[in-house]
Structures are given as C-alpha cells and as structure tokens.
Amino acid sequence: MVPGLNDTDEHLAAIAGMAQRYPKLRGIEIMPYHNMGNEKARRAGLPVRLDLPNADAAAQEAWRSRLLAYGCPAVMLS
C-alpha cells in the first residue's frame, strides 16, 4: 500500500471485492510502502523513483479496519 496512491476507499473496496470471489481465501496481507532504499539510491547517484513518507501505524490500522469492514477475511500487516 502506498499512502496517497493506492490506499483510497475505492481501491480497498476493489481488494475486498476480489477477496470475496475466492471463498477459500484465508486472509489478506497488506505490505505498506517503505522508503528504505531511497537514501541508498541517493548515495549511489541513482534517481529516487518514489520519494514518499512511510505509512504510519495509524494509516496501516485504518487500512486494516476498512478491509475488515468490507468483509475481508483476516487482514495482516507485514
């Protein structure tokens, strides 16, 4: 999940809709965007393609809560 890019209600509803098509699905794993490689790219003189802040814990919990509210099975944060 990238804050501000694909964490909209529309996107989360689409994820939930896709999950509902697979009744044997045990859960959804959310992998939050992180910018760990940006500084290394800068030091190496490479372009930073996506320079955004990391998602904070509140944003991650909001994603999880919304997916659960849409009826997704267990939602895990990684």
Check residue 73 and give its pLDDT. 86
Tokens of 66: 């919304």
Q: Which pLDDT band holds residue 45 (cuts at 50, 70, 90)?
A: very high
DSSP 55: P
Please state, in angstroms and rounded to a whole number, the distance separating the CA atoms of residues 74 and 27: 4
pTM comes to 0.82
* Beta strand spans in 1-78 (E): 27-30, 74-77
Digit-coded pLDDT (tens) for 16-41: 999 999 989 999 999 999 898 899 99
Q: Would you list the domain boundaries of the chain? A: 9-77
User: What integer best gives the mean pLDDT of the chain?
Assistant: 92
